[in-house]
Structure 1
């Protein structure tokens, strides 16, 4: 279980397969901000709400020049169903062995009703155009998170 990647650090590079079957390499997205968010599971209530919030912010996100990437341990097939069911308009990346989640510190011990297990801690990393982590949200609360992220992206442009 890795430590959280903190703001100011270089974002660990990775290549993962998206719901469209293409391989997406993080470093190839430099030049614009990237919203990299980790979520536990496709088509569960909190994850659906979060994905739909980012979906509905498409025009604001596009205007900011940012790319949104959703990452979970689900496989590509699961991502395709999730994407199609909710008409999601950004890539969902399959991190089946949770290697990328490990690099960012999002794969953690969770305690659900006294039962400990390993899983994704809902978290978001805002990566600046130069590939550095600008902001980290750990243990994301879904309500209003999309707005917080947009505010942070706008703040990047001011720097």
Structure 2
């Protein structure tokens, strides 16, 4: 992990503007596009497209029922992979939400989720989830400690969302 402080509940979420892909289209995505529209953002940082643990997590989010329950909660995935990789990943795994490219790790740095080393790679995104409300306030923050794909559990996040949005 970098020496940067991980954002906590109550912190103001830094705004960002990143290139990304959704439904095979490329576009620029801004946090404010969602928050200004009164939406909350389920912001997932993940290490790599096609990494088995990250794939399990991203597919779990794809299948999560809480997005059907909370219409104003929008999932966004962020990693250091490029848009082309994201397109292939989204197509292969039917990811139905935007995947954003933070190739410079600038946004991950601002949120405090850069790992200095992971499996021989330097400066990659730590798996983490932030729920950001429509005032850009962090309402939930957690680092996802998963050593295998079977460790992915959205239950605690679902419980928190019920408390916040239910």
TM over 0.5, yes or no?
Answer: yes
Q: Structure 1 unaligned runs (5+)?
A: none
Alignment of 1:8-157 (within 5 A): 8-19=10-21, 20-30=25-35, 31-57=38-64, 59-65=65-71, 66-110=73-117, 112=119, 117-141=122-146, 143-157=151-165
TM-score (ref. length: structure 2) = 0.85
Distance 1:145 1:130, change over 3 A: farther
Q: Distance in 2 between matches of 1:116 and 1:37?
A: 20
Q: Distance in 2 between matches of 1:145 and 1:25?
A: 28
Residue 116 of structure 1: how far off its partner (Å): 8.3
2:123 aligned counterpart, secondary structure:
strand
2:107 aligned counterpart, secondary structure:
helix
- RMSD over equivalenced CA pairs, Å: 1.9
Q: Distance in 2 between matches of 1:21 and 1:37?
A: 19
Say if 1:4 and 1:106, in contact at 8 Å, map to a contact too. yes
1:151 aligned counterpart, secondary structure:
helix
Distance 1:92 1:111, change over 3 A: closer
Q: Which moved more, 1:39-48 or 1:126-135?
A: 126-135
Say if 1:64 and 1:154, in contact at 8 Å, map to a contact too. no
Residue 111 of structure 1: how far off its partner (Å): 6.0
Q: Distance in 2 between matches of 1:96 and 1:111?
A: 16
Q: Structure 2 unaligned runs (5+)?
A: none
Residue 51 of structure 1: how far off its partner (Å): 0.7
Q: Which moved more, 1:121-130 or 1:72-81?
A: 121-130
TM-score (ref. length: structure 1) = 0.88
Q: Which residue in 1 is equivalent to 2:6?
A: 4
Say if 1:124 and 1:140, in contact at 8 Å, map to a contact too. no
